[in-house]
Structure 1
Amino acid sequence: MLNVIIGIVVIIIIIYLAVVVYQRTQLKQAKAMNLELTRLKNLSLTDQLQAVKQLTLTGDSLTKFQEAQKKYQDVQQTQFPDVAQSLTAAENDAKGVNFLQTRDDVDRVHAKLEAAATNLDQVQATLTNIQKMEQAHQQAVVDLETNYQKLRKTLLNDNSKYGPAIDALEGQLSSIEDTFADFSALTKKGDHQNAEVMLGDLKQATTTLEQKMESIPELYQLNHEQFVNQLQEIESAYAKSRAEGFCFADDDFSMTLKELHQAVQDNLENIKHLDLSFVREQDNEIEKRINGLYDRLETEMKARLFVDKQLDVIDRFIQHAWLQNKTLADELERLSHNYSLEHGEVENTDRLQEQISLINQKYQGDCQTIKDHQAIYSQIEADLKQFQQSLTNIEKKQRALNDSIADLSEEEQQAQQTLEDLNAELHAIHRRIENLNLPGISADYAEYFEMVSKEVQHLKATMNKAKISMDDVQKQLEQIKHDRDQLQEKTSDLIDQSLLAEQVIQYANRYAATNPAMAASIHKAQQQFERDYRYDDSLATIANALDQVEPGAFTRIEDNYYKNKAKTN
């Protein structure tokens, strides 16, 4: 029971403390809002209202001022007293038994206080804006009037810089000044809202006029002086160049100059009407076409300098190529009596002669156009450069042809020496075979030796012809060298086999009396050697028989033979 009582007491204490804290919080908030109300009341706008009221206001500006004045009065006379009364009620509720309603009271007071503060801010902003516009417009009247006087003075004193545009510029300035007069009238009347709109238009129009006045002198000078002077300079240079014998491909100078003169006059008319963006577009086109004419004149003048310098050089090059080709043709004619020219040397030389003749024909044609004062020097320059390249290529081909035929005599001498060497080798091979004192030679070897001998004789006959084909000679030489190498190999095999067969048969005779099989093998080997001239078979027969009786004996005899042969060689 005691615990229950204690619990109830604790709860009551907690509730009491919560109520006390809540009341104090709400009273604290009410006190803060009271201070804010006092601050707003002290924020007096009466002086600013009086200052703006002294201004001469009309139109929208007057309407906005009146609305701000009424809103200020409403705040002072209605909103502030209402907030004060609501705050008093909220504080009383917080202290009394209606403390639970205090929160709603405080929220309502806070909303009314914010509304009053917002209205004051709006009033102050409206008054400040009217004052600023009034000051800005007064200053704008002074600044713009000074600026227009300056612009008019510039147009008056420097009217020559603006050419045909002067009337249009003065007209635009007058129109702007008329608008400025209206702006000044609105400013004096205090209609600052409408004056502000007009001020924006005035500034834009003034800026545009200033930009035109800044741009026109350069555009006018470009069309009135620079382009005209350039066109006159081109006309003079063109007439002089034609008098000096210059010609131009697709010569449209006269027509183009006429069109450009008209384009310049048209552009001056565009300047008169202040169509400056179009003027700039036309200026770019005119400048591009004028530069094109200058480039064409310069191209022909530079080309003439090149032609004057290179004309004689190419003439000498043509004559040199002609002489070189004639010398080459004469040499081919001489060589054709002794050699078959099988690589198109004559045809290639004739073809080079045709190319030289064609170059000379074109060159003479260019020279004639110069004499006739019909020369387009840029085209002649291109021709001369092409002649230079073509003649250089011809010279390289002439040199290659000359080098190829210059070796014919040397090739013949080398081939003759090789033929003599081959003939000597055949005699040496024949003597080596004879020195062996063999009973005979196999038909295969004899036929191969005879074939190589006939090849040598055929080459000799070819070399003795009145007109030699060095291609045929070289082909035969290659075949003979190959067959000669084969013959050397066959000869070396024949000598080794025959000498080894004799040595092995002689060594095997020591077993003939005691070994019937060896005696039979010796007999067979001797028949293959002396009757059939099959020295390789003879060596194989006796070597196999000896290995049966004395293994390793043949290998020993063979090794000694090749060692002695190496020492001898």
Structure 2
Amino acid sequence: MKYGVELVISAIIFVILLFVVGYIIRKKYYKDIDQLEAVKMEIMNQPVAAELAKVKQLNMTGKTEELFEKWRKTWDEIVTVRLPHIDELLFDAEEFTDKFHFNKVKEVRAKIETSLSEIDKDIQEILDQLKELVESEEKNRTDFDQLKETYNKTKKRLITEGHTYGSALNRLDSMLKEVGEKIANYEQLTEQGDYLGARKVILSVADELKLLEEKLQKVPILLKECQTSIPSKLEELTSGYREMIEQGYVLEHIQMDQMMESIKKEMETYKELLSNTETEEVEKGLEEAKEKIESLYDLLEKEVYARQYIMQKNEETEAFLLKLVEENAKLLSETDQVQESYQLMENHLDIPVNLEKSLSQLVKRNELLKEKLAEDRSAFSFLGEELAEIESELEQLEKEQKAFAEHLQRLRKDELEAREKIADLKRKISEIVRLVQKSRMPGLPSDVESLYEQAGEQVEDVFRCLREKPLNMEMVQKYLYEATDTVDHLYNRMEEHIENARFAEQVIQYANRYRGQDKELRESLETAERAFRNYEYRAALEQAATAVEKIEPGALKRIEQMFNEELHV
């Protein structure tokens, strides 16, 4: 009995749960249906009827009437057929929801969403086309007035200024006529209600009028350049060319006649192109022609400057050349004299000889240049370049001459400096001997004695080189460098030994006060003294210092202070 009650309770709870879940799901579907209803109402409220009313105010003929009927028919179908069908589907969806037929609700909802999407798409297409039509009509009226005004101004300009366009006038008239035909076509399309087609014509007319205005602006200017400006420059250039030839200039290399003839033919070609209003190609061609004319002016100007340069520099360069020839002869003589006292390296001996060869070649080139100038058969620009090269090479040879002359003069100076330096080295060696004697060291380490002997030998080598005739300054400098390095090293080593010996002696004397008190100290001091007697001053210092620091920490610092004070007294 108890089991049956539990079963009934469970069944009741299950039914209640099903009812609650069904209620929740049904509520959700009701909400979805309400949203679809809202979307439908939003679509119905689109201002299609109002926009169609605007179109009625236009010229309802031809294309406009055809489009209007198409849009009205589509809108009527939406309002009378497709939207009512949506209402039926919405009603079905509510009924299926009431009966908990949720699968059928889903199918109906999908159909509604698809239909609403298609209807909205069609409405937007109608609105877009309506907007395009209305705006086209408005823009057409505004743009047409401006274009008509531009057209009339252009037509008037062609009539009043036709003489400035030359043979291009026919083509410009033809272009204007084509624009006029399109304007007439626009008016015809507008009367027929084809505002969209009329819009295309308006845009085309705007482009063509803009192009026509550009050509009207450019053609007279380009025509003037072809007929007047450039021919005038050619005449001026030809006149200057002939005048320069009469003045003795050689100008065959410029090929002036061929260039002038080529430019004249180009002008004829450009005038033909202008008759067809092909302004872009003519503009580019005229720029190139101007550049050619400028290059011809530059070439003639170059000849004038070259002649002036030759007139100014020819005698100066020849005088400069003769001066260097004389200087080189002196340099050769001075080299022979210097060789009696100094040995010169082979590469140095070659310098004045090579200079003489180079100068000889330049003399020949200068003579040839003078012959060409006398013949009057060469362009001044070519001769000027040759003269400039000769002058440049002479300047380089002058630098080489001066550098070698300074080298010769420096030999005597280097000899005197070497003698002064070797005398200083002898004095420094004497100073080393004095320091050793004054230090009262028992002796010197064998390596220092060897270094002392080496320094003496190297100083003697320098003296021996200085006594040779002719003098080899490179060997003198070499031996002098080696001797200086050895003497400096010897001096530094000697100062180090003297200082170590003095300090070691001070430390040993200070440590003697503890000799009788500590056996280990006594032994260390004996070792230090043996090292001192064997001239090992650094080892003696280290041994004594280590020993005294063990007995009296900090003693070494005090000894060092006293030692430094004695040195500076």
TM-score between the two structures when normalised by the length of structure 2: 0.61
What is the CA distance between 1:91 and its match in structure 2?
3.0
**Which residue in the other structure is 1:46 paired with?**
49
What amino acid does structure 2 have at the position aligned with 1:312? E
Percent sequence identity is 18
Q: Which letter maps to 2:68?
A: F
Matches within 5 A, 1:322-333: 323=326
Q: Shift of the alpha carbon at 1:77?
A: 1.7
Task: Please name the residue that 2:435 is paired with.
Answer: none
Are residues 387 and 115 of structure 1, via their aligned partners in 2, closer, same or farther at CA, if it must alter by over 3 Å? closer
1:172 shift after superposition: 1.0
Partner of 1:381: 384
Deviation at 1:161, TM superposition (A): 5.3
Q: Which residue of 1 aligns with 2:185?
A: 182
> Which of 251, 259, 265 is equivalent to 1:248?
251
Is 1:56 paired with 2:56?
Answer: no
Q: CA 1:228–1:56 in structure 2 vs 1: closer, same or farther (change >3 Å)? A: same
Do 1:75 and 1:119's aligned partners in 2 also have CA atoms closer than 8 Å?
no
Superposition map of 1:402-417 within 5 A: none
**Structure 1 residues 261 and 7, CA, compared in 2 at 3 Å: closer, same or farther?**
same
1:151 and 2:154 aligned: yes
Q: Which amino acid aligns with 2:278?
A: D
Gaps of at least 5 residues in structure 2 are: 339-343, 411-467, 476-569
Q: Which residue matches 2:176?
A: 173
- Give the distance between the partners of 2:15 and 2:283, measured in 1 at CA: 94
Amino acid at match of 1:24: K
Root-mean-square deviation (Å): 4.4
Match for 2:148: what amino acid?
E
Match of 2:418?
A: none
**Cα distance in 1 between the residues matched to 2:37 and 2:409:** 127
Provide the C-alpha distance between the structure 1 equivalents of 2:187 and 2:208, rounded to a whole number of angstroms: 16
1:87 aligns with 2:90: yes
In the alignment, structure 1 residue 21 sits paired with structure 2 residue 24: yes
Q: Which secondary structure does the structure 2 equivalent of 1:2 belong to?
A: helix
Give how far 1:99 is off.
7.0
Asked if 1:266 is matched to 2:259, the reply is no
Deviates more, 1:183-192 or 1:155-164: 155-164
* Pick aligned residue for 1:320 from 311, 320, 323: 323
Distance change in 2, residues 1:405/1:311 (3 Å): same
The match for 1:75 is 78
Is the CA contact (8 Å cut-off) linking 1:27 and 1:91 kept in structure 2?
yes
Letter of the structure 2 residue corresponding to residue 206 of structure 1: L
1:56 CA displacement: 2.5
Q: Which position in structure 1 is the counterpart of 2:527? A: none
1:308 maps to which residue?
311
Q: 1:263 to 1:63 in 2, by over 3 A?
A: same
Match of 1:531 in 2: none
Give matches, 1:121-160, under 5 Å: 121-159=124-162
Equivalent residues, number: 418
Inter-CA distance 316–117: structure 2 relative to 1 (3 Å threshold)? closer
Shift of 1:233: 2.5
Secondary structure, aligned partner of 1:250: helix
Select the residue among 186, 200, 223 that pairs with 1:220. 223
CA separation of 1:68/1:309 partners in 2, compared to 1, >3 Å: closer, same or farther?
same
Distance 1:46 1:183 in 2: 29
Corresponding residue of 1:277: 280
Which structure 2 residues correspond to residues 409-558 of structure 1 after superposition, within 5 A?
Answer: none
TM-fit CA distance, 1:242: 1.6
Where 2:253 maps in the other structure, the secondary structure is: coil
Residue 220 (structure 1) shift: 3.3
User: Which residue of the partner structure matches residue 194 of structure 2?
Assistant: 191
Pairwise CA distance, 1:277: 3.4
Residue 29 of structure 2 aligns to which amino acid in structure 1? Q
State the AA in 2 paired with 1:302: Y
Which residue of structure 2 lines up, in the alignment, with residue 112 of structure 1? 115
Residue type of the partner of 1:229? S
Superposed displacement of residue 67, structure 1: 1.5
Inter-partner Cα distance in structure 1 for 2:8 and 2:57: 77
Deviations 1:445-497 (A, max 9, x none): xxxxxxxxxxxxxxxxxxxxxxxxxx99889xx9xxxxxxxxxxxxxxxxxxx
Residue aligning to 2:485: none
Contact 2:254-2:299 at 8 Å conserved across structures: no
Post-superposition shift, 1:273? 1.7
How far off its partner does 1:12 sit? 0.6
* Contiguous gaps of at least 5 residues in structure 1: 336-340, 408-470, 479-569
CA separation of 1:167/1:2 partners in 2, compared to 1, >3 Å: closer, same or farther?
Answer: same
1:303-362 Cα deviation digits (max 9, x unpaired) = 122111112212323443455567789999999xxxxx9989999989877765664554
* Cα pair 2:317 2:391 within 8 Å, conserved: yes
Work out whether residues 96 and 104 of structure 2, in 8 Å CA contact, stay in contact via their aligned partners in 1.
yes
Give the distance between the partners of 1:387 and 1:99, measured in 2 at CA: 109
Quote the Cα distance in structure 2 between the aligned partners of 1:357 and 1:184.
Answer: 92
1:352 and 1:394 in contact (8 A); partners too: yes
- On the 8 A contact 1:58/1:190 being kept in 2, the answer is yes
Task: Give the aligned partner of residue 505 of structure 2.
Answer: none
> For 1:117 and 1:325, how far apart are their aligned partners in 2?
105
**245 and 18 in structure 1: CA distance in 2 versus 1, 3 angstrom threshold:** same
CA–CA separation in structure 2 for the residues paired with 1:175 and 1:132:
26
Higher Rg of the two aligned structures? 1
List per-residue Cα deviations over 1:60-102 (Å, max 9, x = no partner): 4433322111111111221232223333343344345767644
The 2-side partners of 1:395 and 1:314 are apart by 13
Take 1:262 and 1:289, find their aligned partners in 2: how far apart are those partners? 14
Q: Give the direction of change, closer, same or farther, for the CA distance of 1:49–1:359 in structure 2 (3 Å limit).
A: closer
**C-alpha distance in 1, partners of 2:180/2:143?**
13
Using the alignment, how far apart are the partners of 1:246 and 1:317 within structure 2?
27
The 3 A distance-change label for structure 1 pair 58 and 95 is: same
Structure 1 residues 315 and 84, CA, compared in 2 at 3 Å: closer, same or farther?
closer
Give the match for residue 411 of structure 1: none
Give TM-score, length-normalised by structure 1: 0.61
Distance, in Å, in 1 between the alignment partners of 2:54 and 2:400 is 107
The Cα shift of 1:378 comes to: 1.7
Q: Which residue of 2 aligns with 1:414?
A: none
1:115–1:387 distance in 2 versus 1, CA, 3 Å: closer
Q: Residue 433 of structure 1 corresponds to which residue in structure 2?
A: none
| 8 Å contact from structure 1 (residues 245, 375) kept in 2 | no
- Cα 1:357/1:77, change in 2 over 3 Å: closer
